[in-house]
Structure 1
Amino acid sequence: MEMTPTDPLYLGVLIFTGAFAGIISGLLGIGGGFIMSPVQYWLLQETGMDPDLALRAALGTSLFVILINAIIVTHKYHKKQAVLWKPALIMGVSGLISSFGGAAVASYLPASTLSTIFGVVIILGALKTYTTSAVKEKEKIRTNPVFYIFGGILIGFFSGLLGIGGGVVGIPVMLILLHFDMRKAVGTSAAIMLFTSFGGSVGYIINGWGQAGLPPYSLGYINLLNWILLVVPGLLAARTGAEIGHLVNPEYLKHFFVLLMVYVGLEMIGVI
């Protein structure tokens, strides 16, 4: 028997997922798309939706949720002076443009290919993050804007392609390539998500406009019903996550981030 969007299980799973993603967003400066997208992908398929359409709707809707969460989280980290605005603006603008392109590419790829790319990118990012120190004591943050532009393009493209805010790519980029410490990487990542999630959301709306087979209340590949169920609890939880993030040891924060990424990556590849 197929599930419907009005089933208590459907509603409950999305509400819980939104709250959990909000906490993770505030805690780690990532959008939580790598949590919301797999859950929505599963739920939409349970309603009888075509897998390719289900994954695109899941990715697009997640990005639109991330846009709202990013506003709250960025404000919190800005007040804690953990956002480096010059790098954030350079990476954000270049990421906005490339995230639109990533969303366009995603509109033509089958679900199996997208989910495999999703999983591989997340696992690689986790492994590189694990081998990088969360606290930079000797290395100076790079100041060459070329590195920021390159990092922004990389973050933005995968953000649009995979329906993520970019944090799971951005934090490893900032730790490894740009020599940020973990707290600055988390705060700046949240600011970059304002740009990448906006560009990606617009891309999913345009590329999904008029697409047959999408559920009711869809704006292109963004499903507004799912969006409301995810964004409201996410907004309430994101503030709490940001507060917790400033109380936790940066190395513990990094390890939690890595474990979460590896689990979701393996899930999307189909290993577990």
Structure 2
Amino acid sequence: MQETGLEPDIAIRIALGTSLFVILLNSISVALKYHEKHAVQWKQATLMGIVGSITSFGGAAVASRLSALTLSTIFGIVVIIGALKIYVTPAVRENGEISSNQMLYILAGVSIGFFSGLLGIGGGVIAIPIMLIFLHFDMRKAVGTSSAVIMFTSFGGSIGYIINGIGQPGLPPYSLGYINLIDWILLVIPGFFGARKGADIAHVVNPEHLKHLFVLLMIYVGLKMIGII
């Protein structure tokens, strides 16, 4: 991160905040795409999302006070644990019944939102394991519904990174708090089209294969953030 010319702590906060702001627009597009394929449980997504947007704001506030090393280590550990949990969870549920326990959805929203804001990840790598393991979603509905939840959590987290970054010394030009608008523009357009294409592909891929691809990606990212690879 020193290659950017920024202090490591500032650089990682900008990376997380800008990432969330990119995810905000992309998640809206992806959620609508999954909605067309009947893969979004909107009632559950809205409950988790509203709760998550509040705790995402809090996660962003915590992240603005942690060091780069601490943030990257937490990120890596959380992602790897999520990957391992997904690996041992069936991608397809035989009974097709998702949980109806409202309290579980509220607790899920708290967890998804907090880690979304803390780690600048929108919440997918947290939401999908929770939906698969505790809420009994199948893989496709977990991916589709998580995209709807991410609309809320990325919004709350983005606001948190803006507010906590305003007036901080060492920010690069064209920054809105910890969100760099130049980087956002460069990332959001290709990300928008890539995310929609990914949603199309995910819907036709075998759910078990989709799960394995997701697990491999999560483990790679987690190990990279910890510094093992």
Q: TM-score range by the shorter chain?
A: over 0.9
Helix, strand or coil at the partner of 1:178: coil
Q: Deviations 1:31-64 (Å, cap 9, x if unpaired)?
A: xxxxxxxxxxx4xx31211000000000000000
Alpha-carbon shift at residue 138 of structure 1 (Å):
2.8
Q: TM-score, normalised by structure 2?
A: 0.99
Give matches, 1:109-188, under 5 Å: 109-138=66-95, 140-188=97-145
Q: In the TM superposition, what is the alpha-carbon distance from 1:180 to its structure 2 partner?
A: 0.2
Q: Distance in 1 between matches of 2:118 and 2:55?
A: 9
Aligned to 2:169: 212
| Distance (whole Å) between structure 2 residues aligned to residue 47 and residue 92 of structure 1 | 34
Deviations 1:11-40 (A, max 9, x none): xxxxxxxxxxxxxxxxxxxxxxxxxxxxxx
- Aligned-pair identity (%): 70
* RMSD, aligned CA: 0.8
1:150 partner amino acid = L
Aligned mates of 1:60, 1:82 — CA distance in 2: 28
TM (norm. structure 1) is 0.83
Alignment partner, residue 240 of structure 1: 197
1:199-232, CA deviations, whole angstroms, 9 ceiling, x for partnerless residues? Answer: 0000000000011101100000000000001001
1: CA distance between counterparts of 2:133 and 2:66? 30
Q: Does 1:230 align with 2:187?
A: yes
The one-letter code sitting in structure 2 at the alignment partner of 1:132 is T
> What is the alpha-carbon distance in structure 2 between the residues aligned to residue 267 and residue 239 of structure 1?
26
Pick one of 29, 42, 51 that aligns with 1:72: 29
Q: CA deviation at 1:139?
A: 6.0
Aligned pairs, number? 229
Distance in 1 (alpha carbons) for counterparts of 2:116 and 2:124? 8
1:81 shift after superposition: 0.5
Runs of 4 or more, structure 1, over 3 Å off, are none
Superimposed CA distance per residue, residues 79-135 of structure 1 (whole angstroms, 9 cap, x where no aligned partner): 111000111011000000000000000010011101000000000000000000000
Unaligned ranges ≥5, structure 1: 1-41
Q: Hey, what's the Cα distance between the residues in 2 that align with 1:124 and 1:47? A: 30
Contact 2:4/2:11 (8 A) holds in 1: no
Which of 34, 50, 59 is the aligned partner of 1:93?
50
Deviation, structure 1 residue 242: 1.1
